[in-house]
Amino acid sequence: MKIFCTGASGYIGGSVAAHLIVAGHQVTGLVRSPEKAEAVRARGVQPLLGTLDDREILAQAAQAADVVVNAASADHRGAVESLLGALAGSGKPFIHTSGSSIVGTRAKGQRSDAIFDEDTPVTPSPARMARVALNEFILSHRDKGCRPVIICPSLIYGRGLGAGPDSVQVPLLINLAKKRGNAAHAGPGENIWSNVHIDDLVTLYALAIEKAPAGSFYFAENGESSMREACEAINRMLGFAGPPTAMSMQEAAAEWGEGTAEDTMASNSRVRAKRARDELGWQPRARSLIDEIEHGCYRE
């Protein structure tokens, strides 16, 4: 099949593109610069120069493809409108990438026991209301002659398969530990995120392309860990003695920015990928987050 992928030079999009190329598909990837174009071309992706604001470029690429994978931004409504408008009436799949911070709770590093699957009602924080509204807009297009599907990953880890090798949270924690000589979490670090290995996530995209019904929404996870547990593993991996440090929220905001500190590094996001397993037969098999930190790509 001919697949058009936004975010093709990034961590998720690049990994999905690489997986689909190995499976025998032709992938065209949206990139923003000649440098990124060369990076994806070297990995078998046909580059298309443009941005998410280039509505005509997006529409033409979507119409020329059999499948569209939107992995550049979970929040860019203009790009979604362009792509879905081009796909209306075609019956083609549109696979959109969201993120499980839509169920996140600003907890300043404290634990929450709230767990969500695809049937659990969501009341998003103000920071994620627009993303939830965009998800609803996307799924409404199941009645407009295309096949919209949303994949909503939790914390992603592991080495990327394409031009973008690094995820967000784990490298932030490792880089901070190297800077300080000790791993550090925001607040007590009891906050928990579900997580999923990039190798397992790309197989979910392939399954969604193959057989997800129109209007489907899937969380993606295969376990969970607290930020403190991740930091303890980082200390063991780096050979740092003693427990990790508990930063104040002010310190965390100074390191990562207030939004990242509050809505990602100190929040809870606990989800269960019930539908992906039940409806698509998704079977994640990659090593756990803690094992990957201690013995996998992060040690290397």
Q: What is the pLDDT of residues 129-155, one digit of tens each?
A: 999 999 999 999 999 999 999 999 999
With a cut of 90, say whether residue 56 has pLDDT above it: yes
Beta bridge partners of 196: 156
**Angle at which helices 169-180 and 227-238 cross, to 10°:** 50
Q: What is the pLDDT of residues 83-135, one digit of tens each?
A: 999 999 999 999 999 999 999 989 999 999 999 999 999 999 898 999 999 99
Read off the pLDDT band of 77 (50, 70, 90): very high
Burial of 56 (0-12, 13-18, 19+ CB in 10 A): exposed
Distance CA 65, CA 5 (A): 10
CB 160 within 8 A of CB 153: no
- The dihedral through the CA atoms of 156, 157, 161, 164 has a sign that is positive
Q: What percent of the chain has pLDDT over 70?
A: 100
With a cut of 90, say whether residue 300 has pLDDT above it: no
Q: Which domains does the chain have, with CATH numbers?
A: 2-162+196-223+270-285 (3.40.50.720)
With a cut of 90, say whether residue 27 has pLDDT above it: yes
Predicted TM-score (pTM) of this structure: 0.97
- The dihedral through the CA atoms of 232, 235, 237, 239 has a sign that is negative
Which letter, b or e, does each residue of 21-41 get, where b requires 16 or more Cβ atoms within 10 Å of its Cβ?
Answer: beeebebbbbbeeeebbebbe
The predicted model gives 65-94 an average pLDDT of 98
pLDDT of residue 134: 98
Burial of 77 (0-12, 13-18, 19+ CB in 10 A): middle
- The dihedral through the CA atoms of 281, 12, 191, 286 has a sign that is positive
**Amino acid residing at 47:** P
Mention every residue, 6+ apart, whose C-beta is less than 8 A from residue 191: 107, 109, 110, 111, 112, 226, 227, 266, 267, 268
Q: What percent of the chain has pLDDT over 90?
A: 98
Distance CA 293, CA 297 (A): 7
CB 261 within 8 A of CB 252: yes
Distance CA 65, CA 273 (A): 28
Mention every residue, 6+ apart, whose C-beta is less than 8 A from residue 299: 237, 293
With a cut of 90, say whether residue 58 has pLDDT above it: yes
**Angle at which helices 129-140 and 77-87 cross, to 10°:** 0
pLDDT of residue 177: 98
